Amino acid sequence: MDPLIDVRDLRFSYEDGTLALDGVDFLLHAGETVALLGPNGSGKTTFVLHLNGLLSGEGRLSVCGLEVEKRNLPAVRRKVGLVFQDAEEQLFMPSVLEDVCYGPLNLGLAPAEALAAAEKALRQVGVDYARDKAPYHLSAGEKRRVALAGVLAMQPEILVLDEPTTNLDPPGRLALVEVLRALPQAKLLVTHDLWFARALARRAVFFEHGRIVRDGALEEVLAQFRWDLGAASAPNR
């Protein structure tokens, strides 16, 4: 099968001249969950922001058979659902339901279709009880799941989550893992939370100085780089 994501020799520098990506090659296939590991500033977030065209570098990048270029961006962004590290960046409507409806409406769905998609997504992430609440009244874990619901309502084929357990308490981490395990999409997890990575991923790539320096089984990658940081224990309920 053709890969969902095919990246060849991706390079990107910021305006100040900082080289953030230095020849990245990467493939993602249907059904995979891959942890993107590495120290801060190694290029992980810069890499995933290329996957739906929020950043644009040099090299070849295709998503679900579409080249990631200006004319294809609307279609690419329907394929790749990106959940930001700060969930509040994605929550801006007066109610949870309105927030989750926003994406489908923006895609051109009729209001009844958008409502059905939003209600389904809220059930998938287990926060349908909060549909009429204001997002700022939610816990950090609930906000994260509502942000995920907003992405799911657009029916992406790939989910990209950037540091998804940031600011989550142990029950919030467990709830998020349970939700993600039940979702069929291929997933990319940018994370420093090794318990979270181990709970979901079997494959990992390790970024260093803008390059992927290892791509393989998660435990083998962790062993090679001795990258445990004391973050591998399971949270208590």
Using 50, 70 and 90 to split pLDDT, how confident is the model at 228? low
Neighbouring residues of 74: CB distance < 8 A, sequence distance ≥ 6: none
Say which CATH class 5-225 falls into.
Answer: alpha beta
Strand ranges (E), 137-200: 158-162, 186-190
Q: So what's the pLDDT on residue 43? A: 94
Using 50, 70 and 90 to split pLDDT, how confident is the model at 91? confident
Terminal CA-CA length for the chain: 40
Phi, psi of 130 (to 5 degrees): -100, 15
Using 50, 70 and 90 to split pLDDT, how confident is the model at 107? confident
pTM of the model: 0.90
pLDDT exceeds 70 at position 237 = no
- The pLDDT of 164-184, averaged and rounded, is 91
Range 26-30, long-range pairs (CB < 8 A, 24+ positions) = 26/205, 26/212, 26/215, 27/3, 28/3, 28/4, 28/158, 28/186, 28/188, 29/1, 29/3, 29/4, 29/186, 30/1, 30/4, 30/157, 30/186
State how far Cα 57 lies from the chain centre. 20
Q: So what's the pLDDT on residue 88? A: 75
Using 50, 70 and 90 to split pLDDT, how confident is the model at 92? confident
Strands of the sheet with 203-208, listed across from one edge:
80-83, 158-162, 186-190, 33-37, 203-208, 211-217
Using 50, 70 and 90 to split pLDDT, how confident is the model at 183? very high
pLDDT exceeds 60 at position 235 = no
Instruction: Give the dihedral sign, CA 214/204/10/7.
Output: positive
Q: So what's the pLDDT on residue 230? A: 42
